[in-house]
Structures are given as C-alpha cells and as structure tokens.
Amino acid sequence: MKKIFNIKIDGYIISIMAVLVVGVIYFLLGHRSFYLIRGSIITLLIAAVILEYMSYRVKNVIDYFRNPLTIVLSVTDSLKYENLPPKEREQLIFLKKTLDNMEKMYNEIT
C-alpha cells in the first residue's frame, strides 16, 4: 500500500536541502544566526512529524471505510434487477456505477 505523503524519499531530500540552506544562512549571517537556525530546525522537525502523523491518520481512515464499501458492493452485486420496476432498476444500476467509481477512487488513493 502506498503512503499518502511519500515522507521516506521526499523527507530525506527536504532534510538535505534544509541543512544546506541552514549552512548558507549561518555562513552569511555569522554567529548571530544561531537562534534563527535552531528555530528553523525545530520547525522543520515538527512539520515532518505532523506530516507523518497525518499520513498515518489518512491511511487509517481510508482502511476503516474499506470494509463497509466491500460489504455494500457485494450486496448490490447479489441483487437481481431484472424483476424490478423500471425506476428501481435505474436506481440500482446508478448505485452500482457509483459504488464501482468509489472503489476505483479508493484503489487509486491506496
């Protein structure tokens, strides 16, 4: 299953770029930039933790709704629409198409 935010690769690239930027700022501003650098490093670490946590939460929410969607899909597939009146038949066909699209969207996300 893919992660929503690709923290593993992008996180390393962002960290390397942040270290380079911090180093350049340190050399440009001198020793007075220590507090600026320390604050920016703490901010980047907090942002990385928040992104990782949100990725985990979004994945869990999607997985939580996966089982009910599967149950509803299996129920709609088992219904026979040949014996239904025309209006109910159209509603059932529309429901099946909608649920199939929802499953496709879920599979694209995960």
Residue 11, amino acid: G
- The full set of domain ranges for the chain reads 7-109
Q: Are 25 and 33 in contact (CB under 8 A)?
A: yes
φ and ψ at 85, to 5 degrees?
Answer: -65, 160
- pTM of the full structure: 0.36
Which tens digits make up the pLDDT trace of 70-103?
A: 767 777 777 777 778 888 888 888 888 888 888 7
For the chain, give the number of residues. 110
pLDDT over threshold 60, residue 5: no
- 57-71, pLDDT tens digit by residue? 777 777 766 667 776
